[in-house]
Amino acid sequence: MVEQRIWLVTGASRGLGRAFTREALAAGDRVAALARTATAAPEYRDDERVLTVDVDVTDRSAVFAAVERVVDHFGRLDVVVNNAGTMWTGFVEEFTEEQARAQMETNFFGALWVTQAVLPALRRRPPGRLLQISSVAGIAAFPTTGLYSASKFALEGLSEAVAAEAAHFGVAVTIVEPGGYWTDLYKDMPATAPLDDYAALRAELAATSDADGVDSEPALAAAAVRAARRGCGPGSRGQRRSTETVDPRQRRLRRRGRTRAGPHPGLGGMGEGQPGGRTCRAGPAGIHHLRSSVPPADAVPSARGRAPA
């Protein structure tokens, strides 16, 4: 029987973070639910298994204080879901400096501050696990999601380095790469002010976008929770479900279209499309990748259509 785990989930009040929280609770675990307005979430208010903490992940001092509070409350941390994020859409030329920095502050620096804050607790009680929520946009960039992809590319590079460093202490890192799905994250998705010069391209993208797509959010969260509890990775006592070892250089080549190996949707510059599917893949020094099905080639995201997670 797998013992009860202590989870810390950022961005827990909506979207994928809420799905992770629900799945962890359904598995019998306890959760620290962190978000800008976590304490206002009615579904957690009367649940003794949940500690809600309001925090802005872009505030490094606040993040460290929040993690300290969680460890003091539960006594330890077993699994961390580094999920808080935002998504700006717009063509690269349209971004203001403020908008570009806002995208990186949350998705990269916010994730960095959380990573730094939780590693001491994870190291103290191996095997710990850090789930870094990336996206298929962290593998391939799409029109109108250039800054979002840049933030996820940066997160994946950071995560590969952390995996190599933390494996020495029995801490495993999983990069979770969801495909496209609708959540309330996209209801208020910010967008740049459109430039008239891009009107034709914007119309073309809108005409080819897929507004239905695959809602992978709950299933992917459930798969990640099961993998974390089972111990998919080094330092675990559970079964390691490993299908392929991926060299970091090979992953970078895949991103840039210089190899056709691995699942991707056949987007321009990446070669022929490969099967998607959900995989938990073991890589070097404790890095794992949990990837949902990748949207088809004609499901190119736009400000109107489905966006990658």
Active-site amino acid positions:
134, 148, 152
- CA count, 13 A, side-chain hemisphere, 216: 26
CA distance 89 to 183: 16
Kindly state the helix (H) or strand (E) to which residue 151 belongs, with its residue range: helix 146-166
Nearest to 22 by CA among 293, 222, 298, 248: 222
Please name every residue paired with 7 in a beta bridge, in sequence order, or none if there are none. 31, 79
Contacts with 25 (C-beta within 8 Å, 6 or more apart), sequence order: 31, 47, 49, 50
| Residue 58 phi, psi (nearest 5) | -80, -10
Strand stretches in the chain, DSSP E: 6-10, 30-35, 50-54, 79-82, 128-133, 171-177, 279-282, 287-291
Overall size of the chain counted in residues: 309
Name the 3-class secondary structure at 225: helix
Measured CA angle at 131 (ends 128, 137), to 5 deg:
160
Is the omega angle on the peptide bond into residue 127 within 30 degrees of 0, that is, cis? yes
Strand stretches in 143-272, DSSP E: 171-177
